[in-house]
């Protein structure tokens, strides 16, 4: 294998080469940088990266560590001391983080090298990465389409082999949905499993940091690194963290999986229905018992989410006012003018929409009618999942109702954009874990292949079982081996299937 082919490998494969001394951490970084320079002008995944700083870390890393020498990309709302952290917004222009997030501290302790900050929807508010103030990110499978969002830069980079793995965040599906649309593996941990210290908050009762990777095994390795209690985050759970990679390879005998009938509704793309139905049959052939279940309050999930998430965003984003850091309007005349013009100039349209909506539902006279009622329905949604998991080990569904849609197709209709997360939102409301992994392709009208994602949901803190099920399915199929023609440029994954 040539160094030029290194970026096509998984984390596990690069680990093996590093430990056999067939390649050095610096050579891994340099090969990745070369690949980024060749490909990212088409994708637009990276906002910034510092090869010099990363090489300095690489020279000191111990390849015997679990992730020793592996570069990991970061969604641009996770703080790393000294690095910019814009959250895809003009209002944080010029801001550099004064401290480092817990998840990054843990990555470094496991030998990983944070490398590159990835494009995203502004403050993680969006499902297409079109809301970034910096640039558009394109889907590697079809450059005319979105990669999903809000972690679209992270997902597109992994799909395009310009990142071995990346961290994203999932507030209502922002890891799983772009993973599905970009054809990679995206994992949402249970709420509280990964510390939010150092994460710029969108909705504090929903946000979770998680990995986007090429394989389930890679995802489990990253979760091994970042999971665990952190006293600096009051919502962090003080619970034992198992070795998530330990049970990979076990069969699915005695595993019970249910397909919620509310997740195969009218409006789901026919190719998505076909692929997910086939995936469920494949799980059954591997030994799992498949039964149908009802989650009766699913229909309210989108409405509940867009009340609670916007209410929390309204409070969290009040801190961005241009007084202490970030963008500040010029030629201000008084304090009110400063606040009004700074926030008007600094925030994009979608962020303003959600701040206004969140402020409205928290306002006097509407709090009980909207916010309080939404909290009560959220509890009903949580109970639906709790009752289901008394009888089964996992729930299976489509990750997204359609394959990747075209750039600009839904920007004029916020409701249609919000519905892109219809199957992922409920898991955040309930605080449970979930994964999206490739399960097929749809044919676009131009003849290009568009990835389809299978979602597996598990009860809170049952990540190990979800990894077990996902890995068994992945290893019994070839969907994860395919590479996008758009960015393949003659490269083929070493020892794997070639481009579609």
Selection from 481, 350, 351, 470 nearest residue 399 by Cα = 470
Is 195 among the residues known to form the active site? no
Is 285 among the residues known to form the active site? no
Residues 177 and 421 sit within 8 Å (Cβ to Cβ): yes
Provide the 8-state DSSP code for 269.
Answer: -
Is 253 among the residues known to form the active site? no
Residues 184 and 210 sit within 8 Å (Cβ to Cβ): no
Q: Give the total residue count for the chain.
A: 500
Q: Which residue in this structure is represented by tokens 């996992």?
A: 394
Marked catalytic residue, from 10, 31, 127, 150: 150
Residues 293 and 260 sit within 8 Å (Cβ to Cβ): yes
State CA 293 to chain mean position distance.
27
Report helix angle 301-316 to 349-362, nearest 10.
100
The token pair that represents 289 in the structure block = 């018992």
Could you count the other beta carbons within 10 Å of the beta carbon of residue 266?
4
Instruction: Report the C-alpha gap between 444 and 139 in whole angstroms.
Output: 13
Marked catalytic residue, from 10, 31, 75, 106: 75
Marked catalytic residue, from 151, 174, 195, 397: 174
Could you count the other beta carbons within 10 Å of the beta carbon of residue 392?
20
Q: Which class for 117: exposed (0-12), middle (13-18), buried (19 or more C-beta within 10 A)?
A: buried
Active site residues: 75, 150, 174
């Amino acid at each position: 294998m040539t160094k030029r082919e290194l970026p096509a490998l998984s984390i596990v494969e690069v680990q093996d080469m590093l430990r056999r001394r067939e390649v050095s951490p610096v050579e891994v970084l340099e090969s990745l940088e070369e690949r980024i320079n060749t490909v990212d002008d088409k994708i637009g995944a990276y906002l910034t990266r510092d090869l010099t700083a990363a090489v300095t870390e690489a020279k000191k890393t111990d390849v015997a560590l679990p992730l020793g020498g592996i570069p990991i990309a970061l969604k641009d709302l996770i703080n790393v001391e000294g690095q910019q952290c814009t959250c895809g917004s003009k209002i944080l222009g010029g801001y550099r983080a004064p401290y480092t997030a817990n998840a990054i501290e843990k990555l470094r302790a496991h030998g990983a090298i944070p490398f590159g900050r990835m494009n995203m929807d502004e403050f993680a508010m969006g499902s297409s990465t079109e809301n970034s103030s910096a640039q558009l990110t394109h889907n590697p499978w079809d450059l005319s389409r979105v990669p999903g969002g809000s972690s679209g830069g992270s997902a597109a980079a992994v799909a395009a082999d310009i990142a071995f793995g990346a961290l994203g965040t999932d507030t209502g599906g922002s890891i799983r949905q772009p993973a599905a649309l970009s054809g990679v593996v995206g994992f949402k941990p249970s709420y509280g499993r990964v510390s939010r210290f150092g994460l710029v908050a969108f909705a504090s009762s929903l946000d979770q940091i998680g990995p986007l990777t090429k394989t389930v095994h890679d995802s489990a390795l990253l979760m091994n690194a970042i999971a665990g209690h952190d006293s600096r985050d009051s919502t962090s759970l003080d619970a034992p963290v198992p070795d998530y990679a330990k049970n990979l390879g076990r069969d699915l005998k005695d595993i019970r999986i249910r397909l919620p009938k509310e997740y195969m509704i009218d409006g789901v793309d026919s190719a998505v229905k076909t692929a997910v139905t086939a995936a469920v049959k494949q799980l059954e052939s591997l030994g799992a018992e498949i039964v149908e279940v009802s989650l009766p309050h699913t229909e309210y999930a989108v409405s509940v989410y867009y009340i609670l998430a916007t209410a929390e965003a309204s409070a969290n984003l009040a801190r961005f006012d241009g007084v202490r850091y970030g963008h500040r309007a010029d030629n201000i005349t008084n304090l009110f003018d400063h606040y009004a013009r700074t926030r008007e100039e600094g925030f994009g349209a979608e962020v303003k929409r959600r701040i206004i909506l969140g402020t409205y539902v928290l306002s006097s006279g509407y709090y009980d009618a909207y916010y309080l009622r939404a909290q009560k329905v959220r509890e009903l949604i949580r109970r639906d999942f709790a009752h289901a998991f008394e009888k089964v080990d996992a729930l299976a569904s489509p990750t997204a109702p359609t394959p990747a849609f075209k750039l600009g197709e839904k920007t004029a209709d916020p409701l249609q954009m919000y519905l892109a997360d219809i199957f992922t939102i409920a898991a955040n409301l309930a605080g449970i874990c979930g994964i999206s992994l490739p399960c097929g392709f749809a044919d676009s009208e131009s003849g290009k292949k568009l990835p389809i994602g299978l979602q597996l949901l598990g009860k809170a803190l049952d990540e190990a079982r979800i990894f077990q099920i996902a890995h068994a399915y992945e290893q019994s199929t070839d969907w994860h081996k395919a590479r996008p023609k758009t960015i393949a440029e003659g490269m083929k994954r070493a020892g794997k299937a070639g481009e579609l």
